[in-house]
Amino acid sequence: MHSLSSASMRSAICVGLLAAGAAAQTAPTPQQIAARLTANDLKADVSFLASDALEGRGTPSRGLDVAAEFIAAEFRRAGLEPAVGDSYFQTADYVNVAPNLDGLALTLELGGKTLRAEKASMGLQDPGALDLQNADALKISLDDQAALDALTPEQVRGRILIVTAPAATPGGRASAAFAMTRRLSPITAKLQPALVILLRANGQGVSVNPRLREVSASTSTVPTLVVWDTAVTSAIDAAKPGPVEGKLSVHISTPVSTPVKLRNVMGVLRGSDPALAGTYVLVTGHYDHLGVRGSGEGDHIYNGANDDASGTASVIEIARTLASFPTHPKRSLVFIGLFGEELGLVGSRYYGAHPVFPLAKTIADFNLEQVGRTDVEGAVSKGILNVTGYDFTSLPAELKKAGQEFDIQIVKDEKNSDPFFARSDNQAFADAGVPAHTLSVGYVFPDYHQVGDEWQKIDYDNMARVDRTVALALYRVADSTAVPEWNAANPKTEKYVKAHDALVK
């Protein structure tokens, strides 16, 4: 054995240190991600977020506030930077507007008859003060898109817009009446009616809960009255679409407004490349659910374990896992727990209107929802990750590569992939032009929006494999100099391509 000179030894040590440094700068391997992102950690998060102590995390509620503090604490523990100055909270000022049913009245003068709707057969889906006497009305079907598109503000402004209700969609993201008001929002903003009346066969699913309105929003809300009074609905059903020959009088009392503060929870894993650290990839999941509903004996807490404590826990554990490696990806990762998804993507819409990080510098959003239950669509969905709008962007290809490392198939559900694109928080980012998808194990599962959505029913081993796949794909997207793109060849992406082009021009 030959002895080394001191100079040779120093040289060997330097080479060794450089080699060790180079090794330390390599990206995390699938095996390293799997070792750090565990089923037990996910179970710990979900079991707390979906516990009775948080009372279903309604928006707003004490339970929602506790969940926000928990998420912030976990981001702090992981070593993420606060996103808003020295805070993990993007605080939004809202008003909780409660319907006032005192004096609610509707009278229809039609064919020489006077019909007065029973107060018990009406509900306010969107509250607002109104007093109309002998107003003109226009009848339209929400199923007749061509007729809706043909309406002009001159035809509708100041009148009552009567909308006949289509059948409820099984597994939809909200009750039929609420889903319709969401669909009607851009229509009413354009046409400016004085009132919208939704005709229903019954009052099932009609919300009587307060509605959130952003304090800084400049647009006024059109009141929405849901009517299922048999005499009134029968008379209007008999009328042809278009102008109604009769006159309507409506009185709605001033609603009760209460200020509330709501919070998106955000932490940042700063990128390692000086040139790309100012660009961002978002990882999102909504942490709210339906709260406590009903009274009397039995369980009234809608715990929301799969929807969406599973997505929130995934955001937390993916953040903790990737932050634990010495090498960060080139771009910055922003992890966000969103409020108010169940009330109409409220938190993500708020972020879209008030972005903390420039949307023009945001290249993608991975939104996680319903990633825990494997008993979906009447079958067992193990080893599968669904992507909404599968053919809309280039991102599923990156997920597919990562899935091969963990035996996870990235699939397009032909029935649900495109329709569900608009039913979660990814939609708000897509509308802004950011390539965005929601990732889930499945679409329709037992206990959806029911009290039975409990943490014990989650398949945590499968959930861990799914989250490892997302973590690896996320790292690779954020570490690449390439930018995800909308698929301009797909006609369904036209508005998103236009939004993106306007964003980055």
Of the listed ranges 22-31, 233-242, 335-344, 457-466, the least confidently predicted one is 22-31
In the prediction, which pLDDT does 14 show?
Answer: 47
H helices then E strands: how many in the chain? Answer: 14, 24
With a cut of 50, say whether residue 171 has pLDDT above it: no
Lowest mean pLDDT among 2-11, 310-319, 330-339: 2-11
Buried b (16+ CB within 10 A) or exposed e, 297-308: eeeebbbbbbbb
Q: How far from chain centre, in Å, is Cα 39? A: 24
**pLDDT at residue 142 in the model:** 79
Which of 3.30.70.2190, 3.40.30.10, 3.50.30.30, 3.30.110.40 is the CATH number of 100-254? 3.50.30.30
Computed over every residue of the chain, the mean pLDDT equals 89
pLDDT average, residue stretch 110-128: 88
Query: Tens digits of per-residue pLDDT, 347-406?
Result: 999 999 999 999 999 999 999 999 999 999 888 999 999 999 999 999 999 999 999 999
pLDDT band at 19 (very low <50, low <70, confident <90, very high): very low
- pLDDT category, 448, cuts 50, 70, 90? very high
* pLDDT, position 25: 62
Q: What class does CATH assign to 29-96+259-504?
A: alpha beta
Q: What DSSP element (H or E) covers 259?
A: strand 256-269
- List helix spans (H) across 329-389: 346-353
CB 70 within 8 A of CB 49: yes
**Segments making up each domain of the chain, as ranges:** 29-96+259-504, 100-254
Task: Order the strands of the 130-135 sheet from edge to edge.
Answer: 113-116, 105-110, 247-252, 130-135
pTM: 0.83
Per-residue pLDDT band for 169 (boundaries 50, 70, 90) equals very low
- The predicted-structure confidence for 483-501, as pLDDT tens digits, reads as follows 999 999 999 999 999 999 9
Q: DSSP strand E in 195-245: where?
A: 195-199, 211-214, 224-227, 242-243
Q: What percent of the chain stands above pLDDT 70? A: 89
Task: Evaluate the omega torsion of the peptide bond into residue 274 and state whether it is cis, within 30 degrees of 0.
Answer: no
The residue among 143 and 298 whose pLDDT is bigger is 298
Distance CA 266, CA 75 (A): 8
